């Protein structure tokens, strides 16, 4: 099974506010993403590839309303909180947080946990508190995974090493996997590998041998979990990533990196075509 994930980050912000949303008015943005992609994705065999789109919470309802009855698109949230509501327990005292229960109720099938941007936020909070034990981040993410799975959500769990950690990548990634996946149902987890050291303008992208090395390590460490590349999947690396047997898909974000940068449905579909070769 191949997995094509779309992380739409905060691509909903209009240009006049410093964002990159040229796709649709904010109120229609989630629906526009779904409507611009789902019909073309129906040509792919759902037994061979799945398509999950992670949207900011504000857009999940309009995206869910835009899904066709036979849509191949699955919706996901951008992480969940580490605690949840419960019958006979906490019924909603989660101001500012996103419990897995509401994510499920809004129509999501999965969630994205441990993305490098989420990890950076948690690291920053812990650093302010004087905590230098970065395994605490993985323990918090483990709690999120367990809450997500308790609501029946599939999880894309992201791991990755920074430039400062690259020389010790095996221990860093091993800790993220061991702590993050402790006691979870691995049957409903896919690993997303983000080489943080190579992501961003002016940085050298990870090459095929390096990605293959990491994917093999992850599969061995986890007992064979599927691994997707979160570097991410683009038009210019789609063929290379498709040639790596150990990579089971990719994570797409921006589709245009020059000019009017942003996410564009037709470019997203072209990246998928290039990767799948169809």
Assign residue 76 the CATH number of its domain.
3.20.20.70
Between CA 51 and CA 44 the distance in angstroms is: 10
pLDDT computed for residue 134 by the predictor = 86
Q: What percent of the chain has pLDDT over 70?
A: 100
Residue 91 lies in a domain: yes
pLDDT at 102 over 90: yes
Residue 2 lies in a domain: no
pLDDT computed for residue 157 by the predictor = 98
Band the pLDDT of 202: cuts 50, 70, 90: confident
Query: Do 5 and 228 contact (CB within 8 A), yes or no?
Result: yes
pLDDT at 240 over 90: yes
Can you give the residue range of the structural domain that contains 82?
22-276
Angle at 177 between CA 173 and CA 183, to 5 degrees: 165
**Mean per-residue pLDDT for 115-143?**
96
**Mean per-residue pLDDT for 161-187?**
97
**Mean per-residue pLDDT for 184-201?**
95
Between CA 191 and CA 155 the distance in angstroms is: 8
Residue 5 lies in a domain: no
Query: Do 63 and 34 contact (CB within 8 A), yes or no?
Result: yes
pLDDT at 226 over 80: yes
**Mean per-residue pLDDT for 24-39?**
98
Band the pLDDT of 278: cuts 50, 70, 90: confident
Residue 9 lies in a domain: no
pLDDT computed for residue 200 by the predictor = 81
Between CA 148 and CA 152 the distance in angstroms is: 7
More reliable by pLDDT, 121 or 204: 121
Query: Do 113 and 148 contact (CB within 8 A), yes or no?
Result: yes
Residue 4 lies in a domain: no
Query: Do 246 and 227 contact (CB within 8 A), yes or no?
Result: yes
Residue 47 lies in a domain: yes
**Mean per-residue pLDDT for 46-52?**
97
Residue 13 lies in a domain: no
Residue 264 lies in a domain: yes
Between CA 138 and CA 267 the distance in angstroms is: 34
pLDDT computed for residue 155 by the predictor = 98
Q: Which residues are catalytic, by number? A: 115, 194
Handedness of CA 112, 116, 117, 119 (dihedral sign): positive
pLDDT computed for residue 85 by the predictor = 98
pLDDT computed for residue 5 by the predictor = 98
4: number of Cβ within 10 Å: 22
pLDDT computed for residue 132 by the predictor = 87
Band the pLDDT of 140: cuts 50, 70, 90: very high
pLDDT computed for residue 113 by the predictor = 98
pLDDT computed for residue 170 by the predictor = 97
In the chain, the number of structural domains is 1
What is the pTM assigned to this prediction? 0.97
Question: Which tens digits make up the pLDDT trace of 50-79?
Answer: 999 999 999 999 999 999 999 999 999 999
């Amino acid at each position: 099974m191949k997995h094509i994930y779309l992380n739409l980050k905060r691509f909903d912000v209009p240009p006049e506010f410093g964002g990159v949303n040229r796709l649709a008015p904010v109120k229609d943005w989630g629906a526009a993403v779904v409507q611009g992609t789902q019909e073309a994705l129906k040509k792919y065999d759902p037994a061979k590839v799945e398509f999950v789109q992670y949207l900011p919470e504000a857009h999940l309802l309009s995206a869910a309303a835009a899904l066709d009855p036979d849509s191949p698109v699955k919706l996901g949230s951008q992480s969940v909180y580490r605690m949840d509501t419960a019958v006979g327990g906490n019924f909603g005292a989660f101001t500012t947080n996103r419990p897995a229960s509401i994510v499920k109720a809004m129509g999501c099938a999965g969630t994205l946990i441990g993305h490098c941007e989420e990890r950076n936020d948690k690291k920053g909070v812990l650093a302010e508190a004087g905590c230098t034990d970065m395994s605490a981040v993985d323990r918090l993410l483990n709690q999120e995974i367990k809450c997500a799975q308790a609501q029946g959500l599939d999880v894309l769990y992201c791991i990755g090493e920074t430039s400062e950690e690259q020389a010790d990548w095996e221990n860093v990634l091993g800790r993220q996997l061991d702590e993050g996946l402790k006691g979870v149902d691995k049957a409903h987890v896919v690993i997303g590998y983000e080489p943080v050291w190579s992501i961003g303008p002016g940085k050298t992208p990870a090459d095929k041998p390096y990605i293959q090395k990491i994917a093999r390590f992850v599969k061995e460490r986890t007992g064979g979990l599927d691994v997707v590349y979160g570097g991410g999947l683009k038009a210019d690396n789609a063929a290379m990533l498709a040639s790596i047997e150990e990579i089971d898909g990719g994570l797409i974000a921006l589709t245009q990196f020059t000019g009017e940068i942003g996410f564009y449905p037709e470019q997203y579909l072209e990246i998928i075509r290039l990767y799948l070769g169809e």
